[in-house]
């Protein structure tokens, strides 16, 4: 199935079909999620209204990891099987992943000031998330650093794969080291340790951000494919 949709023409056809539905889904999930996050969910008994930052911070952090893993998988596919869309996806996803990571760091800083009394601490979770942001930025810079696009794509793909070592460090940093971050409270073997009134908006925002990512990455991939098609047509016109 992956090979079937690796064809650019087939991808464009499928993208045109699902994009309106995915856009409506993303808008609906985000609107409903924001309603529950800002209005319907209760304030925390310790953190008060400040807890509402969680509904952006946590899903953004999840998306930062999700996008990087997807980007690294696409990079591996590009290096091993030379799938024509793999590199396009990875390069389209990288700025979005960087934006999610920056959002997680900024909202975490805003949340940390009233809770911890400081904007930033060099604990394992924060430091590894900052490294993830640098990995995204490095990937973007490296992919554009060569006159030969193919060489830049290969170098960036290798960096994405090497950077995967940071993903489990981010995930398990609260278990391996003493940090100010609390352990996992949603994805646990024993089930979520968060009240359903707070879990619902958290999951709605996470699903909305994922749908938003899919919409924007499809748009960016379509733009890149159309740009390449224009370049090919210009070369053909110049030759004739």
Q: 232 or 182, which is more confident?
A: 232
Residue 185 has pLDDT above 80, yes or no: no
The mean pLDDT of 191-220, rounded to a whole number, is 90
Instruction: Give the alpha-carbon dihedral of 129, 131, 135, 136, to 10 degrees.
Output: 40
- Whether residue 101 contacts residue 168, with contact meaning beta carbons closer than 8 Å, is answered with no
- pLDDT per residue over 71-116, tens digit each? 999 999 999 988 879 999 999 999 999 999 999 999 999 988 888 7
Contact 175, 167 (CB under 8 A): no
Closest CA to 95 of 239, 223, 3, 204: 223
* 30: CB partners within 8 A, 6+ apart: 205, 208, 209, 211, 212
DSSP per-residue letters across 88-112: HHHHHHHHHHHHHHHHHHHHHHHHH
* Per-residue model confidence as pLDDT tens digits over 110-145: 988 888 788 888 888 899 999 999 999 999 999 999
Share of the chain above pLDDT 90, in %: 58
Token pair listed for 240: 């004739």
């Amino acid at each position: 199935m992956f090979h079937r949709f690796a064809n650019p023409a087939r991808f464009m056809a499928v993208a045109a079909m699902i994009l309106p539905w995915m856009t409506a889904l993303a808008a609906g999930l985000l609107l409903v999620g924001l309603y529950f996050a800002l209005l319907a969910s209760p304030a925390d008994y310790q953190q008060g209204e400040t807890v509402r930052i969680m509904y952006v911070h946590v899903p953004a952090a999840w998306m930062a990891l999700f996008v990087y893993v997807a980007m690294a998988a696409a990079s591996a596919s590009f290096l091993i099987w030379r799938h024509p869309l793999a590199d396009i996806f990875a390069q389209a996803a990288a700025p979005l992943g960087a934006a999610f990571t920056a959002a997680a760091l900024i909202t975490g800083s805003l949340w940390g000031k009233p809770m911890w009394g400081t904007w930033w601490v060099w604990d394992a979770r924060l430091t590894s998330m900052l490294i993830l942001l640098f990995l995204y930025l490095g990937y973007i810079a490296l992919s554009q650093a060569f006159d030969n696009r193919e060489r830049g794509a290969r170098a960036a793909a290798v960096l994405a794969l090497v950077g995967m070592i940071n993903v489990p460090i981010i995930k398990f940093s609260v278990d391996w080291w003493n940090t100010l971050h609390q352990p996992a409270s949603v994805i646990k073997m024993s089930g979520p340790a968060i009240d359903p009134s707070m879990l619902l908006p958290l999951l709605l925002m996470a699903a909305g951000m994922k749908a938003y990512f899919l919409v924007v990455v499809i748009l960016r991939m379509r733009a890149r494919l159309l740009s390449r098609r224009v370049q090919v047509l210009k070369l053909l016109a110049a030759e004739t």
